[in-house]
Amino acid sequence: MNAISLDIRPHEDWFQAHVASERARERENPAPLTLKEQHTANVLAHARAITAKERLSPTEVRASLLAALYHDVARFEQFRRFRTFRDAESFNHGQWGVRILKREARLADELPETRRLTLAAVGLHNRYALPSRLPEPFRRVANVVRDADKLDILRVMDETLHHPDAATRTAVLSLPDVPGLYSSRVREDALADRVAAYADLRSVNDFRVLLGTWIGDLNYATSRRRFLEEGHARHLVETLPEDDAYRDVRAHLLRRLSGGLC
């Protein structure tokens, strides 16, 4: 009987060719596609690190790596056709990714169990929360991808929000970047160690707070360790203003992000 291989090289080769063909069709502005390609490589690297340390079956590990590689496979078509990465203005890119993988028969050579786990994780990776009745193996694999994705989103946001131009920061998030504007719900969530919600954001600074609360939204100890070690969340929280709106939230989050409380 063959052992489950963790070599996904043929899939990585196909993915590279897919990106190259999408890029060839995108003459106007290929830069966003390059960012997504880099993001995919980083998410796959995080997934490798998480699965190397956590207790998962070989099938779950293989599915986690495949789902990390393919989680944003629909982003390239999404940008080319709709000029945006906003799902509300185009399509649900997790579900569309499942369609692409089926259309291209990408998982036809995988074991049925690997195929099911991979497709579910791709389809669920961008949901606000996983369905409460999702069976454990599906949950474990989806959570690897969701943790790995968050770890790299932190990097992207750390780089983006340090852009010196406030107009650029606002454009990226569609949120105003002005002092004094904040959400009391986001404040309360952060102080109570809850994960803040996108729907409550009122400003770019609220978004910095939300990203800091993500330490409570990671599923694996390995992910939390990497989150703290990489320092992106701390870096983001440190740039919050020390005014009445954020002083206590900033201090509270910095204590949590120094690694002592989780």
Residue ranges binding Fe ion (CB under 5 A): 72, 126
**Residue 179 CB, nearest distance to Fe ion (Å)?**
32
**Residue 93 CB, nearest distance to Fe ion (Å)?**
6
- Helical pair 136-161 and 112-124, crossing angle rounded to 10 deg: 40
**Residue 125 CB, nearest distance to Fe ion (Å)?**
6
Rounded Cα–Cα distance for residues 222 and 224 (Å): 5
Please give the residue whose beta carbon sits closest to Fe ion in the complex: 72
Return the number of the residue (72 or 177) whose C-beta is nearest Fe ion.
72
Question: What are the residues whose beta carbons fall under 8 Å from the beta carbon of 239, sequence distance 6 or more?
Answer: 161, 162, 208
Return the number of the residue (4 or 45) whose C-beta is nearest Fe ion.
45
Return the number of the residue (72 or 152) whose C-beta is nearest Fe ion.
72
Please name the amino acid found at residue 133.
Answer: R
For residue 65, which phi and psi values (nearest 5 degrees)? -70, -40
Return the number of the residue (142 or 257) whose C-beta is nearest Fe ion.
142
Q: What does 25-81 look like in DSSP terms, one character per residue? A: H--S--HHHHHHHHHHHHHHHHHHHHHHHS---HHHHHHHHHHHHHTTTTHHHHHHH
**Residue 158 CB, nearest distance to Fe ion (Å)?**
18
**Residue 111 CB, nearest distance to Fe ion (Å)?**
25
Residue with the two structure tokens 């440190």: 238
